[in-house]
Chains A and B, each alone.
Chain A
Amino acid sequence: MNQWLGFLKKEWFESVKTYKLMLVVVIFSILGILNPFTAKITPVVFEKFMPEGTFVNLPEPTALDSWLQFYKNVPQMGLIVFILLFSTMMSKELEKGTLLILLSKGLRRNTVITAKFFMALCYWTLAITLSFTITYAYTAYYWDQSQLQHLLFAASCLYVFGILLLAVTLWGNTLFATPYGGTLVTILVVIALFIAAIFPQSANWNPLELLTATTQLLTGELTPSDLWIPYTITLFTTILVVWLTISHFKRKLL
């Protein structure tokens, strides 16, 4: 346990020194501000830039529009940013060989994987919390959000899906030991999920459903109980992928 905490501490200092903390805080704050801003400004922009005489009847933006922006921006931009940021977490040390010294001094291999995954998890939690809080604050200031349903549950769906992608990235990164390996594997997995989503029956289990269902969750068309299968599948797949990574890394020749 002591070893684990020590390695975690090293990971934390490394991430601060490589500007990861700064990038996560700044980028996810920007994303958080952008959501209510886009929702509020879109009708105004339409009015200004439409040619004279065209009459566009756009409804007043509501709290729902702001949250729709959140569930559009954070899964797209936010996840891309996050995966890029953490796509080198294994390969950097494998390439430079710094891990070899620690391992030969008796650091256990599963410590490396679990501590790295835990660190990335902490960052993802920070990122989601930050952008959720900022969007929430602005939305609460400008609109009435009482009619929105399951706001926190929808955010947790996004969170869980992010964890799955994080685990997949770590696995790809360990497997190929190149900076691009992790990103590539993640992109392939997302493409595979999208292909599976073409078939309507897959909505029962596809983890991607966690992202697409957020809109219906907010309007109350779906309830959390409709999503428990994809939710648990995502969680179990995450654990499975992390376990696979550990068992793979144990056998890996460095």
Chain B
Amino acid sequence: MNNDIALLMEYLPFLIPLIILQLGLAIFSAIHVIRHPHYRFGNQVMWLLIVLLIQFIGPLIYFVFGRGDHNGRTN
């Protein structure tokens, strides 16, 4: 067990930025999906699953192909 923690500590410089970036992107996209319920195709549940489950390709596909055009707000 002690060994495992030592191992984890060793990889912390990689893990912290990776987790922050990936989770941040997923959560940001999920919020965007919920707040802008207009999509070029598909529905909310589908986009939420894509954005949360497929790491970094999911949000990309959502923002490039799935995001609806008629949204007044940008945040």
Contacts and interface: CB of A to CB of B under 8 A. Distances in A.
A29 interface: yes
Given A26-B21, A29-B17, 18 more contacts: A18-B63, A19-B63, A20-B63, A23-B59, A23-B60, A23-B63, A26-B56, A27-B25, A29-B21, A30-B21, A34-B18, A37-B11, A37-B18, A81-B57, A84-B64, A87-B64, A88-B64, A96-B69
B22 interface: yes
Contacts of B65: 88, 179
A58 interface: no
- Leading 7 A-B pairs by shortest Cβ distance: A37-B14, A19-B63, A26-B25, A27-B56, A30-B21, A33-B18, A26-B21
A34 B56 CA distance: 13
A19 B36 CA distance: 14
A30 B56 contact: yes
A26 B17 CA distance: 10
A36 interface: yes
Contacts of B57: 81
Interface in B7-30: 7, 11, 13-14, 17-18, 21-22, 24-25, 28
Contacts, number: 51
A41 interface: yes
B74 A17 contact: yes
Interface of A: 17-20, 22-23, 26-27, 29-30, 33-34, 36-37, 40-41, 44, 81, 84-85, 87-88, 96, 138, 141, 179
Nearest to A25: B21
B17 A33 contact: yes
B14 A36 contact: yes
Give the interface size bracket for B toward A. 20 to 34
Contacts of A96: 69
A26 B61 CA distance: 14
B25 to A, nearest CB: 5
Contacts of B22: 30
Contacts of B64: 84-85, 87-88
Contact of B7 (A17, A20, A44, A179): A44
Contacts of A138: 13-14
B11 A41 contact: yes
6 contacts: A20-B63, A33-B14, A33-B17, A85-B64, A138-B14, A141-B13
B18 A30 contact: yes
Nearest to A48: B7
A42 to B, nearest CB: 12
A37 B69 CA distance: 38
B67 to A, nearest CB: 8
Interface string B43-67: 0000000000000110111011101
B11 A27 contact: no
Nearest to B7: A44
Contacts of A84: 60-61, 64
